[in-house]
Amino acid sequence: MSSKVAAPGLLDRAIIGRAAIDALIKLDPRQLARNPVIFVTEAVSAVVTLLFVRDLFAHDGTALFSGQIAAWLWFTVLFANFAEAVAEGRGKAQADALRRTRTDTKAKRTKGGSRDYDIVSALELKIGDIVLVEAGELIPGDGEVVEGVASVNESAITGESAPVIREAGGDRSAVTGGTTVLSDWVRVKITAAPGSTFIDRMIALVEGAERQKTPNELALSILLSGLTIIFLIVCTTLWPLANYSGTVLPLTVLIALLVCLIPTTIGGLLSAIGIAGMDRLIRFNVIATSGRAVEAAGDVDTLLLDKTGTITFGNRMADELLPVGGVGEHELAEAVLLASLADETPEGRSIVALAKSRYGLAAPDIGADARVVPFSAHTRISGVDLPGRALRKGAVDAILAKTQSITGHADIGGAGAEILERAAIATLRAPEDFTRAVERISRAGGTPLAVSENGRLLGVVHLKDIIKPDIKARFAELRAMGIKTVMVTGDNPVTAAAIASEAGVDDFIAQATPEDKLTYIRKEQQGGRLIAMCGDGTNDAPALAQADVGVAMQTGTQAAREAGNMVDLDSDPTKLIEIVAIGKQLLMTRGSLTTFSIANDVAKYFAIIPALFVATYPELGALNVMKLVSPQSAILSAVIFNALIIIALIPLALKGVAYRPVGADALLRRNLLIYGLGGVIIPFVGIKLIDMIVSILHLA
């Protein structure tokens, strides 16, 4: 089973301690300049602090009020920094664990094509160097196996304890620096320079060092900056207007109004939401090379999924036995069991399992005189020769083409020899019921295997791709989300259509070539759709690079990993569905907290506006629906709530809004009901409770 990266808890003491220190470090204006909303909040906090110092020497009784406003404004900035620091701290904790997998490994750099080598530091290796790695040694850098085959422990990278096989050629040749060879040896061609290996990139990504704002984040930042400028202008012009009407507005009160009006809540949590989205992927053992890829996953319209290993279990399995020519079903089961004993392929083992489980047969003792005919990719036939019996099982055309001889048995004579002669010269003719059985299996998308004894057809074995039991329901969920699913397979159209129908996918590409995948993706993108796909081979690289979300398998080739914008450390293609869900959760979380942030400003208006002008315009007292005790307590309560709500929402920003696969209309209604209406009601309750506490303590 694949294991997820262990995620530190939200209240992990080490993370909280580091985040508290980082929150203070992030007070540096050069860092806060990236977040205009919080930067403005810090600037006005400094101004109110200066006013507090002035009031201390004025001895007019206003120092307590301005001091509390200054303190809570600084808390607002610190809480916003703390939210980002906690999100980054979870990534840094994972980066520390990855960093421990690196060491100053020694490498056996070979000379030319010989087995002679020099011992050098892994840090001295260059791209193109060939290194020899033997059992018990660490692979010194990222590369491709160019010679040999070995069992490799990749638990340091994937968390998966089961070793994997890496060999030269094919799609299982990529190896990662820091992993361990458990057996045999391999020669590895280095493909990444020290400092730019896969582990180095993972560390930089999980630490957030390379996290760039996504287009949606940039658009939202511009919106928040615009709102901040608008309210800054409003508060600036409010001062002369208030003076004209005879209302005295202290600068401290105006600044409190500004901070409560600008979207500090979402401004303080926006960065944490983005970091947490990538963190959730990491906990699923998926590394995203950019936040853009995570965001794009949430907007995906079409998913391309490989059939084998994703929709099906990956190996064809025996599903039923169809006897022909008057043969009994139990007789066929006994014959095919004997014929499959030497077939070590997954299909052969599934036939043995079917005969044992469904027909109650036990593995027979064929005796010392039996001659086993092992399965061969060349003959596509397996079987066994017993005294007087030549049992064969294999591809229909191979069985029909010729009859395998039974040789090498001294005890076969008389009638047995006659049987051998007839079997050697007879051409098998396919009876009508055999032909019907083969056609029925083929139309259903299965694979028929013929079974014969001494040149006589006994029946057909139905092999089929077993659909994963939960996959159809998951495709239904994706359909409810408005996502089209497309199965990609090398099968013929008839087989592909049968499996697509059983699995419940919306479309399929049969006999797919790399060009077919690329053409399909480009066609969909030209229609304005976002495409996600997964792959592991070099032939998948063009399509992975073209797709909006390209998920490369960790077990795949270097070309595939470099072409995709995500790497699945578990090499589980079905995880593409979780990736889409995480992307949608990220977008939903950002949208929900933005809705809440804007909605809770409504309650602040009812708290502060009456407090500002009620002395000049008593009629505004009707807006004091919360019955706040005094103008000073109303303003202080709103500022305190504005600070506390940020820290209260940190768990939601990090965990994400619960995602359900429903339509866009349902999501919008749910968002407005919970976070829109909730964003209005909660501040009314919160500000009133804080006002009661403030009044009891006589803080205002």
Report the alpha-carbon distance of residue 690 to residue 643 in Å, rounded.
Answer: 12
End-to-end CA distance of the chain: 60
Buried b (16+ CB within 10 A) or exposed e, 266-284: bbbbbbbbbbbbbbbbbbb
CA dihedral 650, 653, 659, 665 (to 10 degrees): 110
In which region does residue 262 sit, left (phi positive, over 0), alpha (psi from -120 to 50) or beta (all else)?
Answer: beta
Report the alpha-carbon distance of residue 185 to residue 182 in Å, rounded.
Answer: 9
CB atoms within 10 A of CB 482: 12
Contact partners, residue 527, CB within 8 Å, separation at least 6: none
Block residue for tokens 């620096």 = 177
Contact yes or no for 304/488 (Cβ under 8 A)? yes
CA distances from 395 to 149, 231, 407, 465 (A): 30, 77, 22, 16
CA dihedral 664, 667, 668, 671 (to 10 degrees): -160
DSSP state of 141: S
Block residue for tokens 């047995």 = 416
> 361 is written with which tokens?
């047969």
Contact yes or no for 523/339 (Cβ under 8 A)? no
Report the alpha-carbon distance of residue 648 to residue 299 in Å, rounded.
Answer: 28
Which residue numbers are catalytic? 306
DSSP state of 450: E
Coil, strand or helix: which one is 319? strand
Report the alpha-carbon distance of residue 235 to residue 257 in Å, rounded.
Answer: 7
- Longest CA pairwise span in the chain (Å): 127
How far from chain centre, in Å, is Cα 642?
A: 34
Contact yes or no for 149/164 (Cβ under 8 A)? no
Contact yes or no for 158/570 (Cβ under 8 A)? yes
Contact partners, residue 91, CB within 8 Å, separation at least 6: 206, 207, 208, 275, 278, 279, 282
Contact yes or no for 281/287 (Cβ under 8 A)? yes
Q: In the chain, count H helices and then E strands.
A: 24, 20
Cα R_g (the chain), whole angstroms: 35
> 246 is written with which tokens?
């005879």
